[in-house]
Chain A
Amino acid sequence: MLRFIVRRVLQAVPTLFGLSILLFIWVRALPGGPEYALLPENATAEQRAALRRAMGLDDPVIVQYGAFLGRLLQGDLGQSLQTGRPVLTEFAMKFPATVELAVMAMIIAVSAGVPLGYLAARRSGGALDSLVVGGSLVGICTPVFFLAFVLKLVFAEQLGVFPSAFRQTPGIDATRITGLFVVDGIATREWDAAWDAFMHLVLPGLALASIPLAVIVRMTRAGVIEVLGEDYVRTAEAKGLHRRTVRGRHVLRNAMLPVVTAIGLLSGALLAGAVLTESVFAFGGIGQFIYSATQTRDYPVLLGFILIIAALYVLINLIVDISYSLLDPRVRVS
Chain B
Amino acid sequence: MPAGPLLAVDDLSVTFTQRRRRDVKAVDGISFSLDEGSVVGLVGESGCGKSVTSLALMGLLPSRGVRVAGRAGFRPGGGDTEADLLSLPSRRMRDLRGRELAMVFQDPLSSLNPVVPIGRQVTEILVRHRGLKGRAARSAAADLLARVGIPDPGRRLREYPHELSGGMRQRALIAMAVACRPRLMIADEPTTALDVTIQAQILELLKELVTEEGTALLMITHDLGIVAGLCDEINVLYAGRVVESAQRHELFRAPTHPYTAGLLASIPRLHASRDLPLTPIRGTVNDAIDWTDGCAFAPRCDNYAEDCLGGPPHMREERAGHRFRCVHPVRTDAAAVSAEQSPAAPEPSAPKGEDR
Contacts and interface: CB of A to CB of B under 8 A. Distances in A.
A240 B99 contact: yes
Interface string B98-109: 110011010100
Contact of A235 (B93, B105, B162): B105
Contact of B60 (A230, A234, A327): A234
A250 B116 contact: yes
Interface stretch (A51-59, A241-249, A270-278): A241-249
B147 interface: no
B111 A329 contact: no
A329 B97 contact: no
Contacts of B96: 240
Given A245-B128, A328-B114, A330-B160, A240 B60 contact: no
B113 interface: yes
Contacts of A238: 58, 60, 97-98, 102-103, 105
A237 interface: yes
A3 interface: no
Nearest to A245: B124
B1 interface: no
A265 B103 CA distance: 41
Interface string B170-189: 00010010000000000000
Contacts of A242: 94, 128
Contacts of A329: 114-115, 160, 162
A243 B94 CA distance: 9
Contacts of B176: 235, 239
Contacts of A230: 110
B115 A234 contact: no
Interface in A224-271: 230-232, 234-243, 245, 249-250, 253-254, 257
B19 to A, nearest CB: 9
A239 B112 contact: no
A31 B95 CA distance: 73
Interface residues of B, number: 30
B131 to A, nearest CB: 13
A241 B95 CA distance: 8
B97 A239 contact: yes
B207 interface: no
A240 B97 contact: yes
B98 A241 contact: yes
Contacts of A237: 60, 97
A241 B60 contact: no
B128 A241 contact: yes
B114 A249 contact: no
A235 B120 CA distance: 13
Nearest to B54: A238
B111 A234 contact: yes
B148 interface: no
A332 to B, nearest CB: 10
Given A231-B107, A240-B95, A240-B98, A250 B113 contact: yes
Contact of B114 (A232, A240, A245): A232
13 contacts: A231-B107, A238-B98, A238-B102, A239-B124, A239-B128, A240-B95, A240-B125, A250-B113, A254-B114, A329-B114, A330-B114, A330-B160, A330-B162
Interface of B: 55, 58, 60, 93-99, 102-103, 105, 107, 110-116, 120, 124-125, 128-129, 160, 162, 173, 176
Interface of A: 230-232, 234-243, 245, 249-250, 253-254, 257, 327-330
Task: Identify the 5 closest CB pairs spanning chains A and B, nearest first.
Answer: A240-B98, A240-B97, A239-B98, A231-B110, A329-B160
